[in-house]
């Protein structure tokens, strides 16, 4: 977008005056940020309106991506980059005496997600807009996002993330588009067998819309987040007592108050179920209203609307659409089912049994009586249709309601036209293990869509030094078509290019080290290898394995004071769900280890370890460009895909990985010589699981190194850890090491040593690095979204 700098200056000053009644030289950077964002939002609003009009006038099919989480990250820099306003706005701010960097730093990150699932939703929205696909996000406007993590005596402490305190300048509240969501009450059938829902509670859902901007001003889509609010009509105002009103307001706001700090268990149960129905119902009602304005036959609905369910959290979309079609549009069951199935598609994100969502039937019956009736009918129809062709066990595995629970994954597969996994291995496991009976019934519905990442954020914006080097080397076409990165393969033996690659990495490492010093007073030597594991703390992700190995190296250095090794800085980042006791013990272990190693003069800088507090998207953007080794070490079969693995690869880190999730596809892209693989594979893990022949105690008893390391968890070797090592010790020996940490310990240790050794040959390392970047194009979320659009959503276009 071309802007007139002088006009922009005036507009910004005017906005500041409106917002704060102050002149620009008296406001803070935080205040400038607010007014700047609003000015930019105003500048793009014309295009936003045009886009909506175009979609409506051309009767284009729209995609609605329903997700409980959108971890969108900071928006100002991305917006400036995509609109092409970055340089001009930098100049304008300079003229006013401000540095863009400071203003970017004052943006509070909207932490509306837990981890990979929420970040994926954000990348997908970005790709839809950049490809010109009319794709809108539908989610919840949490008053409090992901908690802020701090450490006290090495323990994680959770602080509320009051991200809306200074308001969100990108959003627009649209009270005139509010919807009514009904909870509770009873349902009876009238004389014509039509359901009558009575005695329910009404909650208003108010949408807050944010623009999702494509590059080159191509498309502006909408992220619509719903907030639960008390809205009284004028007639009600006099009939409610003020004191009761306040209490009611608080009660209602509770629904969208907090993001549940866990994406793998159904904590908080009833309130979480309320959240799920709340945004699903509001979203679908507003979609139906927009559709009806088109004045088409209802049978056209699936031709104009695709609803995507990101994991099962929004699976109530299915009975809710059926409810609308039956009760409000007065269709027959068969047609309602057909339209719903043709509209819905579902992405599965986990095969871990404990994370497959299921709701106690009585919860649904009490909270959503009409929805529960619909679920019962869907289950009855399914059983009627398939009971003769399935065995009792198959029927038990596939039905929607069983043993007093509603199983959301089964509902999603049975009632949608597409179920996709998020990496080849994961889809394969879905089809052959977890959902094999559903796959037997509906083989055509299952498909793979390996996750992807937005290249705008994860290289262009976060790694400008590498991006410029790539531009210089192969031209700028890769920014539009990431597959062009493959041209870098031609430079893998070019020593000048390899030197440049190293220089870029070193600059990024120095910048990161400076930032860590200034922000946390960490002393990170930019000459050391940066070995990084950043992700949610979870047992299956095995930060514990990483930490045990560092403990092993510490012992080795103490035993062999002259032991020579390439200096390494081990960097961790990640939050543990507040109720996840064991993950929090791993955090305590790492912090204790860091204290002892970093303060022990005998270590002589050979190893250092830091756990950076409050890992979030903004930190990821700083860490990833500076990383040498990317730790992707989950137990094989457990990580559905991973996306940070792709981000590291793109930025030239070498992956130290198990054969899990998308690591396997990264290996296929770069070849065996440019990735370091270790550990049990899928077959070996499945074999242990089915034959119950794994024995952690045997390994512990018969291996001196392992025994030494494991004993140090409980024998006082790490005084800071205190008694907190006992639970971790028990997880290995009393609980027989469910994630095979001890089994993989030696192969991990050896793989890690090999990589450190390879780092000495810098030329070879830089070659591996460039090969990783060159072959990362396939993991662009643009590529992934093109496949979703063509193969799942049936959206046509020239993308
Ligand atoms: N959390 C944050 C803040 C991220 O930025 C990302 C990915 O970039 C993730 C979680 C997902 O990481 P992983 O794929 O390693 O689980």
Q: Is residue 463 part of a domain?
A: no
Catalytic residue among 340, 343, 427, 643: 643
| Domain span at 440 | 59-74+109-451+785-793
Cβ neighbours of 49 (radius 10 Å): 11
The answer as to whether 464 is a domain residue is no
* Residue 232 and residue 88 share a domain: no
| Contact status, residue 394 vs residue 440, Cβ threshold 8 Å | yes
In degrees, rounded to 5, the angle at the alpha carbon of residue 393 between the alpha carbons of residues 390 and 394 is: 40
Nearest CA to ligand 1 atom 8: 644
Question: Are residues 634 and 582 part of one domain?
Answer: yes
CA torsion 322-327-330-335 (nearest 10°) is 10
CA gap 336, 330 in Å, rounded: 9
Under DSSP, the state recorded for 422 is S
Extract the tokens encoding 69: 């989480």
Among the options 426, 541, 542, 638, which is catalytic? 541
Q: Whose CA is nearest to atom 1 of ligand 1?
A: 115
User: In total, how many domains does the chain have?
Assistant: 3
Q: What is the per-residue pLDDT for 263?
A: 62
For residues 192 and 217, membership in a common domain is answered with: yes
Angle 214-478-103 (CA atoms, 0-180°, nearest 5)? 50
Among 70, 109, 119, 614, which residue has the most ligand 1 atoms within 8 Å of its CB, making it the best to mutate?
119
pLDDT tens digits, 287-329: 999 999 999 999 999 999 999 999 999 999 999 999 999 999 9
- Please identify every stretch of the chain with a pLDDT value under 50, giving residue numbers as ranges: none
H or E stretch including 340?
Answer: helix 333-343
CB 85: neighbour CB atoms within 10 A? 19
My answer on whether 574 and 441 are in the same domain is no
Distance in Å, CA 625 to ligand 1 centroid: 14
Residue 349 known to be catalytic: yes
Query: DSSP string of 447-515?
Result: EE----B-HIIIIIIT-HHHHHHHHHHH-SGGGT-GGGGGGGGGGTT-HHHHHHHHHHHHHHHHHHHHH
Q: Decide: residue 690, CB within 10 A, 0-12 exposed, 13-18 middle, 19+ buried.
A: exposed
Strands laid side by side in the 401-402 sheet: 358-360, 405-407, 401-402
Partners of residue 148 on adjacent β-strands:
159
Instruction: Give the CA distances from residue 480 to residues 44, 121, 130, 215, 216, in Å, rounded to whole numbers and listed in that order.
Output: 21, 20, 9, 9, 10
> 250 alpha carbon to ligand 1 midpoint, in Å?
33
Pocket test for ligand 1, best of 454, 462, 534 (most atoms within 8 A of CB): 534
Residue nearest to atom 7 of ligand 1 (CA): 644
692 is catalytic: no
Per-residue model confidence (pLDDT) at position 537:
98
Residue nearest to atom 4 of ligand 1 (CA): 617
Q: Quick check: is 706 in a domain?
A: yes
Which of 535, 542, 588, 608 is an active site residue?
Answer: 535
CA 24, chain centre distance (Å):
37
Residues 571 and 516 in one domain: yes
Domain membership of residue 456 (yes or no) is no
Catalytic residue among 536, 575, 585, 608: 536
Residues 89 and 136 in one domain: no
Ligand 1 atom closest to the CA of 642, numbered from 1? 14
| Catalytic residue (choose from 119, 274, 313, 349) | 349
Beta-carbon contacts of residue 210 (< 8 Å; ≥ 6 apart) = 75, 168, 170, 171, 172, 222, 223, 225
Backbone angles phi, psi at 706, to 5 degrees: -65, -40
In this structure, the answer to whether residues 329 and 350 fall within a common structural domain is: yes
Q: Which two tokens stand for residue 722?
A: 């205190």
Check if 274 is active-site: no
Same domain? 585 vs 635 = yes
Residue identifier of the C-alpha nearest atom 5 of ligand 1: 617
Q: Is 272 in contact with 260 (CB distance < 8 Å)? A: yes
Query: 115 CA to middle of ligand 1, Å?
Result: 5
536 classed as catalytic: yes
Q: Within 13 Å, how many C-alpha atoms sit on residue 372's CB side?
A: 22
Using CA positions, which residue lies closest to atom 10 of ligand 1?
115
Q: Which residues of 755-782 are buried (b: 16+ CB within 10 A; e: fewer)?
A: bbeebeeeeebbbbbbbbbbbbbbbbbb
Q: What pLDDT score was predicted for residue 267?
A: 62
H or E segment and range at residue 193: none
User: For residue 355, what pLDDT is reported?
Assistant: 83
Q: Residue 123 C-alpha to ligand 1 middle, in angstroms?
A: 12
Tell me, yes or no, whether 635 and 668 share the same domain. Answer: yes
The one catalytic residue in 204, 647, 756, 786 is 647
- For 655, list phi and psi in degrees, rounded to 5: -90, 130
Residue that the structure tokens 């002393």 belong to: 523
User: What is d(CA 460, CA 320) in angstroms, rounded to the nearest whole number?
Assistant: 40
Tens digit of pLDDT for each residue in 713-726? Answer: 999 999 999 999 99
Ligand 1 atom closest to the Cα of residue 453 is 8
Is 490 within a domain? no
User: Is there a domain that residue 397 lies in?
Assistant: yes
CA-nearest of 378, 401, 402, 389 to 437 is: 389
Closest atom of ligand 1 to CA, residue 647:
8
Closest to 20 in 3D by CA, of 152, 143, 141, 166: 166
The preferred substitution site among 533, 617, 625, 776 for testing ligand 1, maximizing ligand atoms within 8 Å of CB, is: 617
| Distance of alpha carbon 132 from the chain centroid | 22
Backbone angles phi, psi at 150, to 5 degrees: -125, 165
Note whether residue 487 is domain-resident: no
Same domain, residue pair 93 and 138: no
Same domain, 69 and 197: yes
* Residue 778, in any domain of the structure: no
The size of the chain, in residues, is: 799
What CATH code is carried by the domain that includes residue 129?
Answer: 3.40.50.2000
CA 629 and chain centroid, separation: 22
CA of 545 to the centre of ligand 1 (A): 19
Ligand 1 centre and the CA of 7: distance in Å?
40
Ligand 1 pocket test: pick from 74, 78, 114, 116 the residue with the most ligand atoms within 8 Å of its Cβ: 116
Structure tokens at 662: 């998308």
Taking the centre of ligand 1 as the mean of its atom positions, its distance from the CA of residue 536, in whole angstroms, is: 7
Phi, psi of 190 (to 5 degrees): -85, -175
- pLDDT score recorded for residue 353: 86
Q: Are 621 and 461 in contact (CB under 8 A)?
A: yes
Ligand 1 mean position to 675 CA, how many Å? 20
Question: How many Å lie between the centroid of ligand 1 and the Cα of residue 599?
Answer: 30
Interatomic CA distance for residues 265 and 425, integer angstroms: 23
Please report the ipTM that was assigned to this predicted complex. Answer: 0.88
- 352 Cα: distance to centroid of ligand 1 (angstroms): 19
Pocket (CB within 6 angstroms of ligand 1):
115-116, 119, 535, 615-617, 620, 642-644, 647
Residues 692 and 574 in one domain: yes
The structure tokens listed for 315 are 């699976």
Answer yes or no: 10 catalytic. no
- Catalytic (active site) residue 786: no
């Amino acid at each position: 977008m071309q802007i007139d700098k002088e006009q922009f200056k005036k507009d910004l000053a005017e906005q500041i005056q409106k917002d704060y009644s102050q002149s620009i030289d008296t406001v803070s950077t935080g205040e400038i940020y607010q007014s700047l964002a609003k000015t930019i939002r105003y500048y793009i609003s014309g295009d936003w309106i045009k886009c909506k009009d175009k979609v409506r006038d051309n009767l284009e099919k729209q995609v609605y991506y329903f997700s409980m989480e959108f971890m969108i990250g900071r928006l100002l820099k991305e917006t400036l980059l995509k609109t092409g306003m970055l340089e001009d706005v930098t100049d304008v701010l300079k003229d006013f005496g401000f540095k863009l960097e400071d203003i970017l730093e004052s943006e509070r990150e909207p932490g509306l997600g837990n981890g990979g699932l929420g970040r994926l939703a954000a990348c997908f929205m970005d790709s839809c807009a950049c490809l010109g696909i009319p794709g809108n996000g539908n989610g919840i406007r949490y008053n409090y996002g992901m908690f802020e993590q701090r450490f006290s005596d090495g323990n994680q402490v959770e602080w509320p993330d009051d991200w809306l305190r200074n308001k969100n300048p990108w959003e627009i509240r649209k009270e005139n588009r509010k919807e009514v969501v009904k909870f509770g009450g009873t349902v009876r059938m009238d004389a014509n067998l039509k359901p009558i829902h009575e005695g329910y509670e009404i909650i208003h859902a108010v949408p807050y819309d944010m623009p999702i901007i494509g590059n080159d001003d191509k498309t502006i889509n909408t992220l619509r987040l719903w907030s639960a609010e008390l809205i009284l009509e004028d007639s009600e105002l006099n009939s409610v007592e003020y004191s009761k009103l306040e209490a009611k307001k608080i009660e209602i706001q509770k629904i969208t108050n907090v993001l549940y700090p866990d994406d793998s268990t159904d904590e908080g149960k009833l309130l979480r179920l309320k959240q799920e129905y709340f945004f699903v119902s509001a979203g679908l009602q507003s979609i139906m209203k927009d559709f009806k304005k088109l004045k088409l036959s209802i049978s056209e609905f699936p031709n104009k609307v695709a609803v995507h369910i990101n994991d099962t959290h929004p699976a109530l979309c299915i009975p809710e659409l059926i409810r609308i079609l039956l009760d409000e549009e007065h269709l027959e069951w068969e047609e309602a089912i057909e339209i719903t199935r043709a509209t819905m598609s579902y992405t599965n994100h986990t095969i871990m049994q404990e994370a497959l969502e299921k709701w106690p039937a009585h919860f649904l019956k009490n909270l959503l009586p009409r929805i529960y009736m619909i679920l019962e009918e869907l289950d009855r129809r399914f059983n009627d249709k398939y009971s003769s062709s399935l065995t009792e066990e198959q029927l038990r595995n596939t039905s929607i309601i069983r043993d007093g629970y509603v199983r959301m994954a089964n509902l999603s597969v049975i009632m949608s036209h597409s179920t996709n996994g998020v990496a080849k291995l994961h889809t394969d496991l879905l089809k052959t293990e977890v959902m094999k009976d559903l796959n037997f019934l509906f083989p055509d519905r299952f498909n793979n869509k390996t996750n992807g990442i937005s290249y705008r954020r994860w290289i262009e914006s976060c790694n400008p030094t590498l991006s410029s080097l790539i531009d210089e080397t192969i031209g700028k076409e890769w920014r539009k078509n990431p597959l062009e990165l493959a041209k870098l393969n031609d430079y893998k033996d070019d020593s000048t290019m390899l030197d440049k690659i190293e220089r870029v990495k070193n600059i990024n490492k120095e910048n990161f080290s400076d930032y860590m010093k200034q922000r946390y007073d960490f002393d990170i030597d930019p000459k050391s290898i940066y070995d990084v594991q950043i992700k949610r703390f979870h047992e299956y992700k095995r930060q514990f394995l990483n930490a045990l190995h560092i403990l092993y190296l510490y012992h080795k250095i103490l035993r062999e004071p002259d032991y020579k090794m390439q200096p390494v800085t081990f960097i961790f980042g990640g939050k543990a769900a507040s109720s996840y006791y064991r993950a929090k013990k791993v955090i305590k272990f790492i912090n204790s280890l860091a204290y002892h190693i970093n303060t022990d003069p005998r270590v002589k800088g050979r190893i250092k370890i830091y756990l950076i507090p409050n890992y979030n998207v903004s930190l990821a953007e700083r860490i990833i460009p500076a990383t040498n080794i990317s730790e992707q070490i989950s137990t094989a079969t457990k990580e559905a895909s991973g996306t940070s693995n792709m981000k590291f690869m793109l930025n030239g880190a070498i992956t130290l990985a198990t054969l899990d999730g998308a690591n396997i596809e990264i290996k296929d892209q770069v070849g065996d010589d440019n990735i370091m693989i270790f550990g049990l594979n899928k077959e070996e893990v499945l074999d242990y699981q089915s034959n119950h022949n794994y024995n952690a105690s045997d390994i512990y008893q018969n291996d001196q190194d392992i025994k030494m390391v494991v004993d140090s968890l409980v024998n006082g070797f790490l005084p800071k850890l205190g008694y907190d090592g006992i639970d971790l010790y028990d997880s290995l020996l009393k609980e027989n090491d469910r994630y095979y940490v001890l089994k993989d310990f030696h192969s991990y240790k050896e793989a890690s040593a090999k990589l450190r050794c390879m780092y000495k040959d810098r030329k070879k390392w830089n070659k591996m690095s460039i090969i990783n970047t060159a072959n990362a194009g396939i993991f662009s979320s643009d590529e992934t979204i093109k496949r979703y659009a063509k193969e799942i959503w049936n959206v046509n276009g020239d993308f």
